[in-house]
A and B are shown apart, each in its own frame.
Chain A
Amino acid sequence: MSARDTILASIRRSLGVSGQEAPRRAAVASRLALHPVGLVPARGQRESERRALFRAMVELASGTVEEVARPEDVPGAVASFLRAHNLPLSVRRGSDPRLEALPWERERTLAVATGASDGSDLVAVSHAFGAAAETGTLMLTSGPDNPTTLNFLPDTHIVVVRADEIAGDYETLWQRLRAKYGAGRMPRTVNWITGPSRSADIEQTLILGAHGPRRLHVIVLDG
């Protein structure tokens, strides 16, 4: 008997079932197919307050937020953030079409590389799939144009998110993800990011920048 069969048999013996009971199988099949939504906190549900809540929650998690009116303002916002923190004017980004379309060339002094990081980059720029206001959480998906290494290796992570893609809750993001990737399918990696990396393992003293970025800056893009 394989290990798998041994474990399943032991589970069934303990539960007193055979595994063939139609009602059990139906209960599981329907939950997996319908993925019912549970209790969703009220705090993210009012649309008029959602952006303010998102900002407040990102800041609570020690991240920073700025809002820009037009896509063409993003490269300038990136460059200003770097200058304000005395960082070299050099970033790495994925080739996500939403980032490709931005007029990076307008910032003449900003060097922009694309592709995965090998650990030598100080600053990365990513585009989020969306965000959940309830906890100030960004959701990023991996893919040919969105290297996961950019989310963790650089010291500073700048994430662009469209204002209309800030949802109130996680469940809304799952629905959007299913619409894009198909039921039961996921990209290799989905990263939820809530603030910059941290550790409190030494005497519970909170320190930012443990293994991942020590700064997380969110640029919310209107319209």
Chain B
Amino acid sequence: MTAHVTSPRFKRNAAEALADAQLQQALKFVEVNFAARRREVAERLPEFDALRDSARDIKDHTLRHLDLYLDAFQQRVEAAGGHVHFAVTAEDARRIVLDICRAAGARTVTKGKSMVSEEIGLNDFLAANGINPVETDLGEYLIQIRGEMPSHIIAPAVHLTKEQVEADFRRVHTHLPADRSLVEPSTMLAEARGILRERFLAADVGITGANFLVAETGTSIIVTNEGNGDLTQTLPKVHVVLATIEKLIPTLEDVAQILRVLARSATGQELSVYTTFSTGPRRAGDPDGPEAYHVVILDNGRSAMLGGAFQDMLRCIRCGACMNHCPVYHAVGGHAYGWVYPGPMGAVLTPSLVGVDRAGHLPNASTFCGRCEEVCPVRIPLPRMMRAWREREFERHLSPATVRSGLAVWAFFAKRPRLYGLATAIAAFVLGWAGRRRGRFAWLPLARGWTRDRDFPAPAGSTFQAQWRRARRDHR
């Protein structure tokens, strides 16, 4: 776990994000675009919701039989002439990848977009060992030249404006004329394409992630729109696939089910442009393709999630719909979450992988509106699991003393309904009387955390319970 974790300072991250005008400008697009596109494409397919059930069931079945499917996958890869490497920890995975690169005499490796690579901090490790990693997905390339982490799992540079991209290109691509025009995104894309095309052709090893691993055939699958992943894995001598244990899917038919919900949920496309199925190295007589094919399968704490409260999180197919529909993500973006996985899925997964002691703020950063679960293509109960993390945080005495004592006071009353009713009635009356002129409070004792950023509305009458009793009485 080397990717730097700033989740413990989530509150400060979030405050900075809210004050960052460029970030707020960039985030405007997320809320509008992704949600509308997903809705449109989902409405066009009457079977969409039933396919989500099917995808959920396939993932559940696979997780319950994961040991056996991993075994079958390994056998098929080896039968096709490929190699499978198992890695218990991030460090193991980095070491395996480095050894493969060294054996190939690699100086430059190209990379397709891989969240697992971000999770294990592979780029820094390779660079520290004299190997130059080149990200080839446009978004990943942008954050690599900025030295940042992705802020979204499928759109890593979604936090940037085109003006920032222009400035970065001028800063880094110094061999190009300084007076060139870089106003349009299409010009920037063409510039990156030209630069990366040379890197593709020069690379010794290509590293990709995997959206899925197919047990039936020993196949790894990548789903992309740019085609960079395909050039990454076709042109170099060696193709390394970096995947985690929960990517297993039994059969090609099962993959077809899940592919029908993946792109629709992610970008609102009917299907991504390139879905590529790779099995082993190039065959006798093939005019192109890699001479060697390695799959590195990483656990990194996932096997311990099986059979427990967070097993359902392993169904995640990394579409990003939960963050695209999350009001908290819309407000603060991905970097505030402080690690590689942001949004609701990150709020559940990050505590599992880096510990709730460091990531406990994340499951608290939720309005519990439930939109993430509503749109999840594999129906992960994200709000329920965020609640489970909150409970664990409380049990382990990790929450701040003020929260704990506040909860204790509340619990004292909540367990005594009559006292609760009386206390709230008095509070409503007193607050209503005190705020009768302005209708709101700019300041309240013990509630500065609330009133610092907004006014507290004054109660406008009796409590709900009192109104309820009255309404029932009147009704009779």
Contacts and interface: CB of A to CB of B under 8 A. Distances in A.
A25 interface: yes
A200 B155 contact: yes
B376 interface: no
A15 to B, nearest CB: 5
Nearest to B57: A38
A184 B71 CA distance: 14
Interface stretch (A4-12, A79-87, A104-112): A4-12
Contact of B277 (A11, A144, A186): A186
B213 to A, nearest CB: 13
A172 to B, nearest CB: 10
Nearest to B276: A191
B68 interface: yes
A205 interface: yes
Interface in B91-141: 92, 136-139
A151 B274 CA distance: 10
Interface of B: 26, 29-30, 33, 45-47, 50-51, 54, 58, 61, 64-72, 74, 76, 80, 85-88, 92, 136-139, 142, 155-158, 160-162, 165, 185-186, 188-189, 193, 196-197, 200-201, 215-219, 225-228, 230-231, 234-235, 245, 250-254, 256-257, 259-260, 267, 269-283, 285-289, 297, 299, 303-308
6 contacts: A14-B303, A115-B287, A149-B288, A152-B234, A170-B259, A186-B277
Contacts of A24: 64-65, 68
Given A38-B257, A201-B142, A202-B138, A152 B227 contact: yes
B231 A153 contact: yes
Which bracket fits the contact residues of A?
35 or more
Contacts of A186: 80, 217-219, 277, 279
Contact of B67 (A11, A36, A142, A198): A11
Contacts of B69: 28
Contact of A210 (B67, B138, B252): B138
A149 B72 contact: no
Query: What 4 A-B pairs have minimum CB-CB distances, sorted nearest first?
Result: A212-B227, A210-B226, A144-B285, A14-B306
B270 A60 contact: yes
A31 interface: yes
Contact of B274 (A3, A41, A115, A193): A193
Contacts of B228: 210-211
Contacts of B138: 199, 201-202, 210
Contacts of B254: 35, 38
Contacts of B51: 39, 41
A116 B288 contact: yes
A40 to B, nearest CB: 8
B65 A28 contact: yes
A81 B30 CA distance: 37
Contacts of B29: 203-204
A148 interface: yes
A28 B250 contact: yes
Given A119-B197, A192-B276, A38 B54 contact: yes
A204 B33 contact: yes
B286 to A, nearest CB: 6
A69 interface: no
A10 B304 contact: yes
A187 B200 CA distance: 23
A39 B257 CA distance: 7
A61 B269 CA distance: 8
B252 A7 contact: no
A2 to B, nearest CB: 7
Contact of A202 (B165, B218, B306): B165
A211 B68 CA distance: 38
Contacts of B216: 32, 35, 184
A185 B287 contact: no
